[in-house]
Structure formats: structure tokens, C-alpha cells
């Protein structure tokens, strides 16, 4: 059983993915033919590709989200660093589900930064604030009220 908190966290990752796909789709014609394909830890671009690579990276992100979603739904298939017993199974499953949901959000944020950089929105902090902070907050508020 997946708890409501885990579902909301995973939904945050899906909402971030959906928004950056919509941004990519709506701004695709304005994106230059050559875009950053690799950004180092300091934010410096050190690799370039054709703008079609943005779709490929989005597909990779979607694949990662699907795999993480399946593992969240079926935690018995995940690899655990401890031996599972009847006493600890439920607790370990919950911790793994929380970990996987957090990884889904973090991974999607990294992929979304590449899209933002290609579109040219990374310097416009208001969009980043709306995108990274407001969307998850509204998602939590919306699903926090539903029963």
C-alpha cells in the first residue's frame, strides 16, 4: 500500500515533468538548433547537441519516472541494504518508497534545469520560483484537501 504522502511526492515529480514538457513544446520553435547537452556542477555548459536531444532527455526522464513509480507501487522488487524480515518489512518498504519519491523529484528537477537553460528561463528567477516551489505547494494543498 502506498501512503498518501508518497503519492503526493511522486505526483510532484510528475507535475514538474508535465510542466517542463509543456514549456518545451510551447517554446520549441524559439529554441536555437544547438543547445546545451551537458552542464557541469557549477552550471557551466561543457557539451552541445541538436535541440532534438531535449526530447530524448525528456523520454529518458519519463522512463526513470515510470521505473521509480513501479518500484514505489511494488517495493518488494527494490534492492535493500538490510535483510527483510516479517518484523521490519513494512517499515523498510515505507522508507524505500519515500526515498524513491524523493529521487523522482530530484531527478526531474535536474532534467528540467536543462530544459529551462535551453529555453532561456534559468536567469528569470520568477519562473523558477513558480515552477520549482509553487507547483509542488499547490499540488500538496490540492491533494491535502481531498479525501
Question: pLDDT tens track of the chain, all 147 residues?
Answer: 888 889 988 988 998 898 889 888 988 898 889 887 777 888 788 888 899 989 999 999 999 999 999 999 999 898 888 888 999 999 999 999 999 999 999 899 888 877 877 777 766 645 665 666 676 667 667 666 654
User: CB under 8 Å to 111, separation ≥6 — which residues?
Assistant: 17, 20, 57, 58, 60, 61
DSSP category for residue 6: H
Question: In sequence order, which ranges of 28-88 are alpha helices (DSSP H)?
Answer: 53-73
Number of domains composing the chain: 1
Q: How many other C-beta atoms can be found within 10 angstroms of the C-beta atom of residue 147?
A: 3
The residue segments making up the domain with residue 27 are: 4-145
Q: Cell match 507501487: residue?
A: 73
Residue whose grid cell is 511494488: 74
Amino acid at each position: 500500500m502506498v501512503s498518501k504522502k508518497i503519492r503526493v511526492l511522486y505526483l510532484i515529480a510528475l507535475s514538474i515533468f508535465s510542466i517542463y514538457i509543456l514549456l518545451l513544446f510551447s517554446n520549441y520553435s524559439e529554441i536555437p538548433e544547438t543547445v546545451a547537452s551537458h552542464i557541469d556542477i557549477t552550471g557551466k555548459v561543457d557539451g552541445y547537441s541538436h535541440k532534438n536531444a531535449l526530447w530524448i532527455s525528456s523520454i529518458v526522464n519519463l522512463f526513470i519516472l515510470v521505473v521509480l513509480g513501479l518500484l514505489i507501487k511494488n517495493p518488494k522488487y527494490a534492492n535493500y541494504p538490510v535483510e527483510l524480515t516479517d518484523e521490519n518489512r513494512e517499515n523498510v518498504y515505507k522508507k524505500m518508497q519515500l526515498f524513491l519519491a524523493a529521487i523522482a523529484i530530484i531527478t526531474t528537477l535536474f532534467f528540467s534545469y536543462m530544459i529551462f537553460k535551453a529555453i532561456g528561463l534559468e536567469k528569470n528567477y520568477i519562473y523558477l520560483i513558480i515552477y520549482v516551489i509553487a507547483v509542488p505547494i499547490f499540488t500538496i494543498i490540492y491533494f491535502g484537501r481531498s479525501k
